[in-house]
Chains A and B, each alone.
Chain A
Amino acid sequence: MSVRSFLQDHPKPLVWAWELTLRVLRWSRPVLARLGLERASWWLRTPEMLIKKPLFDCRECGQCVLHYTGMTCPMTCPKQLRNGPCGGVRANGHCEVYPDKPCVWVQAWERSARTPYRAEMTRLNPPVDWRIEGLSSWVTHTLERDAITTGNDPAVRYADEVLEGRSWN
């Protein structure tokens, strides 16, 4: 088992790291705002990628939802699905395109149960805004340019509204 999948299967430290990152980002918000989206991204993209590429095989979508998906990157799904698995998942839980690889969403479903963000499994994630692809998601999130994780998009709703309080978990 690789270090990557070990950490993702035991996501607690990753969750702490994310929450610490959030705190630092909030604190540095005035500086980032002064630099602006593009320039702040220029500075932060490299450190972000140095961490996220080896740990999550990050695809630089610029609107990171890792913490919502059990620290499993949905952009590594061949269909880049951000709202759950497709119907092609094999009986052994592997991907229809890569028979040797587990489905990203099978992992996200299992791993998210071990994070404080399980409730996000019912979140209706809006489609990717391709304009901010390649920017630092630390910056797009802090500057609220990322409509997905900041909830600025009206499509950010939850399936719970049709479940009317029935427990799904």
Chain B
Amino acid sequence: MELNYTGASNLARVLREGHFAVAVEVSPPIGPNPAALQRQIAELRGYADVYNTTDNQSARVHMGSLPASIMLKQAGLEPVAQFTCRDRNRLALQSDLLGAAAFGINTVLAISGDHVAMGDHPHAKPVYDVDSLNLVRMIRMMRDGPVFENGEPIPKTAPDFFIGAVENPFAPPHEFRPVRVAKKVAAGAQFIQTQLIYNVPRFREFMARIVDLGLHEKVAILAGVGPLRSPKAIAYMRAEVAGMDIPEWIDARFAKATTKEEREKVGLDLCCEIAAQIREIEGVRGLHIMTVNWSAAIPQVVTALGLYPRP
């Protein structure tokens, strides 16, 4: 596939070399103590090509995505700095992007972001000065111009960004989702990370449409997968995580598991089964592995899928 990118992003290198890519999600801590982040760094090192740092995920206040990405970079892991449109206007987004570039963070992801009403500061002002598509476009302008959003040139050095965006194949209107991917590709997106996939048939339909539209040759789709730890975690995700589609047959799989160990085994097996099915779907270039407070499971999933060690 054509990447239209010559920079240093590790994700781009892995895709360019034709490998099946692995990205994993790292959650910056709620609080100033970096220990939780350092624990995830130690657990996950070597099991992915890139590591996404979430940006105030679920609209709850966390340590920033950018400082977390810097910590990862300094520990020798290649970060994907996530940028939501919820908390910052064009100036703040661009200044953080410049900061990312200064620290050698060259893989970035643009998202609208969950609305503040869904989080722990529902009384805060949602920003959305630009939407995710225009954030993608702005990042491309900064790299390819190189100009700022106002059209003024960026002096001396152009920042190096491999640009990502997201899509949720499970949210209505289903027919619009692939078209929206096309819009993001036209704006400059080079890889797409999807929402967590539990409804494989629906994802298949989405990917078939992506292939029909020829988008699988223009953008690398990284399919979102993640192990579910317990029926309680499923209930939490259905209620709290925006745009989740967890079919009922999954609950039945957990019904027989009585102990914590059994439940975790069911969760891991399920994740690997789904990931194996997804891997066979045309146009899928890699996985994006996410968990809810269960990063220790990620090395097991990556190893079980035969994706360890990473290139």
A residues sitting closer than 8 Å to B (CB atoms) are: 78-93, 96-97, 103, 105-106, 109-110, 121-122, 124-128, 130, 155, 157-159, 161-164, 166, 168
Contacts and interface: CB of A to CB of B under 8 A. Distances in A.
Interface stretch (B11-19, B34-42, B129-137): B129-137
A159 B118 contact: no
A97 B170 CA distance: 17
Interface stretch (B63-71, B152-160, B179-187): B179-187
Contacts, number: 128
A3 to B, nearest CB: 24
Nearest to B114: A88
B89 to A, nearest CB: 9
Which secondary structure dominates where chain A touches chain B?
loop
B91 interface: no
Most buried by B among A89, A91, A161: A89
A166 B134 contact: no
B96 interface: no
A122 B183 contact: yes
Contacts of B133: 83-84, 124-125
Contacts of B46: none
The number of chain B residues touching the other chain, given as a range, is 35 or more
B134 to A, nearest CB: 5
A102 B270 CA distance: 33
B134 A159 contact: no
Interface string B160-192: 000000111011110110111011011100000
B134 A96 contact: no
B117 interface: yes
A70 to B, nearest CB: 11
A96 B113 CA distance: 12
Given A88-B242, A124-B137, A166-B212, A105 B182 contact: no
B134 A155 contact: yes
Contacts of B7: none
Given A78-B117, A96-B242, A159 B214 contact: no
Given A96-B243, A166-B213, A124 B187 contact: yes
Contacts of A80: 128, 131
A168 B185 CA distance: 14
A78 B118 CA distance: 12
Interface string B95-125: 0000000000000000010110110000000
Given A124-B137, A128-B129, 4 more contacts: A81-B112, A85-B173, A96-B118, A109-B176
28 contacts: A79-B115, A79-B131, A83-B133, A83-B180, A84-B133, A85-B171, A85-B176, A86-B132, A87-B166, A87-B168, A87-B242, A88-B171, A88-B243, A91-B170, A97-B115, A97-B117, A106-B173, A109-B173, A122-B179, A122-B182, A124-B186, A124-B187, A126-B134, A155-B134, A159-B182, A166-B212, A166-B214, A168-B179
